[in-house]
């Protein structure tokens, strides 16, 4: 791990040290018992039909390290409602604070005003993060293969499942796919964005998807902007797309969502 990704993880380590003092893991485990049961993220994004050949995970994202501020006056509840009304199958919420201007509190806000599952999208690398995700109301977590060793990835997939959450395991190439499969990933996200350079290549999904065994749920992430992009991915066997920037910066998010996924 190097470059900008390493900088993000380094900052998360500093945050984690403070979080452990503010709210110890023992206390989080005790409080989880009072949290509402998770919604079924896997079922929401895996179904395919003639009316809906591909599902949408719509992302709440205030800032991008590569493009800067995307939405100045972010109203998480309003955006989440509009996502659901327009047909999103799930919502992804950026919770990383420093580089994406996210907040863990956004999970509860998005979940509280919708009925669809909410994915916590962040750079998670400790057991504490998994328990914390369940505590703040996440129905699923993003696990990034390039951030985690095989043993940790496997453990976190299992722990997430034990807590009732799904795991979206993110990969960027065939080598990381091999790691994800060894770890037991059932939902595999192919990120078209290189986390080192932030360059986007849609052909990443179209290439890697050919190597994924049948029975896995496939999500394409990043750089998806048009109906043509969606059609290409659906034809390639992708079950769901995760879209943030092209929706968030659109003048009408509902119209943009319908453009992407409406029959």
What amino acid positions are annotated as catalytic residues?
Answer: 59, 61, 121, 170, 191, 221-222
Per-residue buried b or exposed e for 60-78, using 16+ beta carbons within 10 Å of the residue's own CB: bbbbbeeeeebbeebebee
Look at residues 157, 160, 128 and name the one whose alpha carbon lies nearest to residue 145. Answer: 157
List of E strands, 47-151: 55-60, 63-64, 68-69, 90-94, 118-121, 140-144
Using N-to-C axis directions, what is the helix angle for 174-183 and 150-162, rounded to 10°? 50
Q: Name the pairing type of β-strands 68-69 and 166-171.
A: unpaired
Which DSSP symbol is given to 37? P
Are 137 and 36 in contact by the 8 Å Cβ rule? The answer is yes
């Amino acid at each position: 791990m190097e470059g900008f990704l390493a900088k993000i993880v380094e900052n998360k380590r500093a945050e984690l040290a403070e979080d452990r003092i503010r709210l110890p893991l023992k206390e989080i485990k005790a409080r989880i018992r009072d949290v509402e049961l998770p919604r079924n993220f896997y079922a929401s994004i895996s179904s395919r039909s003639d009316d809906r050949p591909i599902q949408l995970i719509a992302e709440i994202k205030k800032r991008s390290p590569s493009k800067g501020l995307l939405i100045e006056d972010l109203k998480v509840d309003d955006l989440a409602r509009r996502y659901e009304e327009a047909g999103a199958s799930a919502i992804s919420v950026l919770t990383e604070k420093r580089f994406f201007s996210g907040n863990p509190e956004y999970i509860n806000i998005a979940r509280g005003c919708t009925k669809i599952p909410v994915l916590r999208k962040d750079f998670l690398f400790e057991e504490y993060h998994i328990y914390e995700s369940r505590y703040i109301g996440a129905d699923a977590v993003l696990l990034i293969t390039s951030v985690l060793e095989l043993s940790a990835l496997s453990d976190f997939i299992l722990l997430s499942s034990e807590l009732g959450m799904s795991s979206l395991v993110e990969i960027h190439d065939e080598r990381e796919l091999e790691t994800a499969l060894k770890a037991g990933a059932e939902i595999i996200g192919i990120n078209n964005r290189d986390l080192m350079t932030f360059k986007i290549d849609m052909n990443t999904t179209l290439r890697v998807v050919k190597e994924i065994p049948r029975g896995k749920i496939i999500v394409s992430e990043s750089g998806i902007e048009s109906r043509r992009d969606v059609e290409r991915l659906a034809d390639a066997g992708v079950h769901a797309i995760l879209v943030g920037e092209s929706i968030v910066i659109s003048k009408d998010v509902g119209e943009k969502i319908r453009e992407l996924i409406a029959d």
